[in-house]
Structure 1
Amino acid sequence: MAPNLFGSSTSLYLETSDQEKSATEKASIQPKYEWDIVWRNVIAFVYLHFGALYALYLVFTTIKLETTLWMLFLGSIAGFGITAGAHRLWAHRTYKAKWPMRFILMIMQTIALQNDIYEWSRDHRVHHKFTDTDADPHNANRGFFFSHMGWLLLRKHPDVIKKGATVDMTDLERDPIVFWQRKLYLLLVTLFCFVLPVWVPCYFWNETLFNSWNTTLLRYAVSLNATWLVNSAAHIWGYKPYDKNIGPTENKSVAIITLGEGWHNYHHVFPWDYKAAEFGNYNMNITTALIDFCALLGLAYDMKTVSVDVIKRRAKRTGDGTRYSEDEDSQSHGDHHSHEDMKWGWGDVDMKPEEIQEVDIINKSD
Structure 2
Amino acid sequence: MTNRGAHAAEVCAKKASPTAEEAGADRVMTDDVFDDSYRGKEGPKPPRRIVWRNVILMSFLHLSALYGIVLIPSAMYLTWAWSGLYFLMSALGVTAGAHRLWSHRTYKAKLPLRVFLTFANSMAFQNDIFEWARDHRVHHKYSETDADPHNATRGFFFSHIGWLLLRKHPDVIEKGKRLDLSDLKADKVIMFQRRFYKTSVIVMCFFIPTVVPWYFWGESLSNAYFISAILRYALVLNATWLINSAAHMFGNRPYDKTINPRENRLVAFSAIGEGFHNYHHTFPFDYSASEFGCGYNLTTSFIDLMCFLGLAADCKQVSKEVILARKQRTGDGSHRTG
Do the two structures share a fold, i.e. TM-score over 0.5?
Answer: yes
Residue 299 in structure 1 maps to residue 311 in structure 2: yes
Quote the Cα distance in structure 1 between the aligned partners of 2:247 and 2:208. 33
Shift of 1:324: 4.6
Residue 273 in structure 1 maps to residue 273 in structure 2: no
Quote the Cα distance in structure 2 between the aligned partners of 1:193 and 1:64. 20
Alignment of 1:36-51 (within 5 A): 36-51=49-64
For the residue of structure 1 that corresponds to 2:310, the secondary structure is coil
Quote the Cα distance in structure 1 between the aligned partners of 2:205 and 2:270. 20
2:190 to 170, 174, 178: 178
Alignment of 1:28-43 (within 5 A): 32-43=45-56
Aligned length: 294
| Corresponding residue number in structure 1 for 2:224 | 212
Shift of 1:90: 0.3
Structure 2 gap ranges (5+): 1-42
What residue identity is the alignment partner of 1:257?
A: S
Quote the Cα distance in structure 2 between the aligned partners of 1:220 and 1:47. 13
Quote the Cα distance in structure 2 between the aligned partners of 1:109 and 1:236. 27
Please say if residues 316 and 324 of structure 1, whose CA atoms lie closer than 8 Å, have aligned partners that are also in contact. no
Point out the structure with max Rg over C-alpha: 1
| Corresponding residue number in structure 2 for 1:99 | 111
1:195 to 178, 194, 207: 207
- Shifted more, 205-214 versus 51-60: the winner is 205-214
For the residue of structure 1 that corresponds to 2:317, the secondary structure is strand
Q: Deviations over 1:9-42 (max 9, x none)?
A: xxxxxxxxxxxxxxxxxxxxx9541111111110
Shift of 1:64: 1.9
Quote the Cα distance in structure 2 between the aligned partners of 1:137 and 1:158. 10
Quote the Cα distance in structure 1 between the aligned partners of 2:54 and 2:224. 23
Alignment of 1:322-333 (within 5 A): 322-324=334-336
Quote the Cα distance in structure 1 between the aligned partners of 2:236 and 2:287. 22
Using a 3 Å threshold, how does the CA distance of structure 1 residues 236 and 32 change in structure 2: closer, same or farther?
closer
| Corresponding residue number in structure 2 for 1:134 | 146
For the residue of structure 1 that corresponds to 2:127, the secondary structure is coil
Q: How well do the aligned residues superpose, as a CA RMSD in angstroms? A: 1.2
TM-score with structure 1 length normalisation? 0.79
What residue identity is the alignment partner of 2:266?
A: S
Q: Deviations over 1:209-239 (max 9, x none)?
A: 1221111110010000000000000000000
What residue identity is the alignment partner of 2:270?
A: I
Structure 1 gap ranges (5+): 1-29, 326-366
Quote the Cα distance in structure 1 between the aligned partners of 2:179 and 2:280. 19
For the residue of structure 1 that corresponds to 2:251, the secondary structure is coil
Residue 240 in structure 1 maps to residue 253 in structure 2: yes
Quote the Cα distance in structure 2 between the aligned partners of 1:323 and 1:163. 35
| Corresponding residue number in structure 2 for 1:329 | none
Residue 264 in structure 1 maps to residue 292 in structure 2: no
Shift of 1:283: 2.7
2:90 to 68, 78, 101: 78
For the residue of structure 2 that corresponds to 1:192, the secondary structure is helix
1:230 to 243, 247, 256: 243
Residue 114 in structure 1 maps to residue 126 in structure 2: yes
TM-score with structure 2 length normalisation? 0.85
For the residue of structure 2 that corresponds to 1:323, the secondary structure is helix
- Shifted more, 315-324 versus 86-95: the winner is 315-324
Quote the Cα distance in structure 2 between the aligned partners of 1:252 and 1:224. 18
For the residue of structure 2 that corresponds to 1:134, the secondary structure is coil
What residue identity is the alignment partner of 2:167?
A: R
2:265 to 252, 266, 271: 252
Alignment of 1:144-163 (within 5 A): 144-163=156-175
Q: Deviations over 1:254-285 (max 9, x none)?
A: 111111100000000100000001112x2301
Shift of 1:297: 1.1
Quote the Cα distance in structure 2 between the aligned partners of 1:265 and 1:177. 31
